[in-house]
Amino acid sequence: MTDEIGKFINFWGKILVFLYILIFPFGQLLRFEVILAKKPIPVIATDLVTSFSLITFLFSKKPKINRYFFSFFFFCLFSLLISLSYFNFHQVLFGSLYLFRLLIYYSFFVLVWNLSNYNPTFKKNVLDLYIVIMIFNIFLGWLQYFLYKDLTYLKFYGWDDHLGRLVGTFFDPGFTGIIICSAFFVTFLKYIYSKKKIYLYLSLIFLISLLFTYSRASYLALLFGLILLFLVKKKVKYLISFSLIIFLMMLILPRGKGEGVRLERTKSILLRMENYKETLDVFRKSPLFGIGFNNICWAKNNLFYEETTSHSCFGSDSSFLLILATTGTLGFLAFLNLLKNVFLNLSKNYYGELAKIFLFSTIIHCLFVNSLFYPFVMGISALYLGLSFRE
């Protein structure tokens, strides 16, 4: 990479990254629709910002992980092309937009990685700004909790209905939970490294906010993330006391009228098991190459006659099952190989530990919620991995 290209990427890339972080807390509020092939296509402002990283991607240096990503990417593309034999062109075109989103967030990761190598102060500035922005995001979440506690009317707009939960600007407590987890690990790790109490207080704010999502998947993500954190820092003795504090805090959480605030609820578990079964039924239709990334909504409509306007139609309650169903066994193996090499290429410092803990907690979370391919989670992952990958 020449000095001229490096300066270009450094100048415009930093503007792009900081702009992304600045609009991040508004979440789904900055969502709009465009018409493509007579169908409404949802577009999020953060997707638009990260799409410009494709320009810098063409000229920038690539990390070692590049070939593993494109190995998985081409399996996804191949499965899409094959799916033209049983889905019409417009359906496959719609599904290909999800693959394009995957590409732009990978290019965003490469941009952050290049900026981290080019400018040593960039890493600290990015995380400091992210913490400030997440404080603002939490403020918006609590504003929603106190002023708009009843969001059951959102089911008429294709969202899940929630009552008495901290949902925030992402309109889903499960996704909000894992995003708050990302902020908790940033501040808690900073406290461990710096011993500054301000980071401990911020960690406590994020922890309490996470609890008020009543998202059990996020609770598990937090727990497993903490297990890995204490193992990495060799402070296992603190895990029991920390877990006990969180458990006691869960016991005193207020219980409102909604089903979602009942942590012992079983209805969502039964619905999730049914969703797993349907996704596996889709996988059995094309076990080798899958039904195309991401054509699962059309497959559900064909197999189960589920005509739906829900925003979750194109997902599964497990990101791993989604990959298995849409890219087949070959694509799934390519994805596991990518994931393995991601962990192998993380640096052994604060940034590497942060990325490892967040990615591990997200893997736990995505077994119950399709968070691995949620655009805002992909954005956070791109930031953390870009800051932590070895050159």
Alpha carbon 168 to its chain's center: 15
Give me the sign of the Cα torsion angle 103, 105, 111, 112. Answer: negative
Cα gap 365→354, rounded to integer Å:
16
Q: List the structure tokens of 336.
A: 């596991």
R_g of the chain, CA atoms, integer Å: 21
Burial class (CB in 10 A: 0-12, 13-18, 19+), 282: buried
Nearby residues of 178 by Cβ (< 8 Å), 6 or more positions away:
217, 218, 221, 361, 362, 365, 369, 371, 374, 377
Pick from 219, 207, 213: nearest CA to 163: 213
Q: List the structure tokens of 58.
A: 């063409």
DSSP letter, residue 236:
T
Q: What is the pLDDT of residue 270?
A: 85
Q: What is the pLDDT of residue 250?
A: 84
- Residue-by-residue pLDDT tens, the chain, 391 positions: 567 777 878 888 999 999 999 999 999 999 888 776 667 778 899 999 999 999 989 888 899 999 999 999 999 999 989 888 888 887 788 878 889 999 999 999 999 999 998 887 899 999 999 999 999 999 999 999 999 888 888 787 777 778 889 999 999 999 999 999 999 999 999 999 999 999 999 999 999 999 999 999 999 999 999 999 988 877 777 788 888 888 888 888 887 776 667 777 777 788 888 888 888 888 888 888 888 887 787 776 666 555 554 555 556 788 999 999 999 999 999 999 999 999 999 998 999 999 999 999 999 999 999 999 999 999 999 999 999 997 6
Cα gap 252→247, rounded to integer Å:
9
Query: Amino acid letter at 104?
Result: I
Pick from 160, 167, 100, 102: nearest CA to 311: 160
Pick from 66, 347, 343, 354: nearest CA to 193: 354
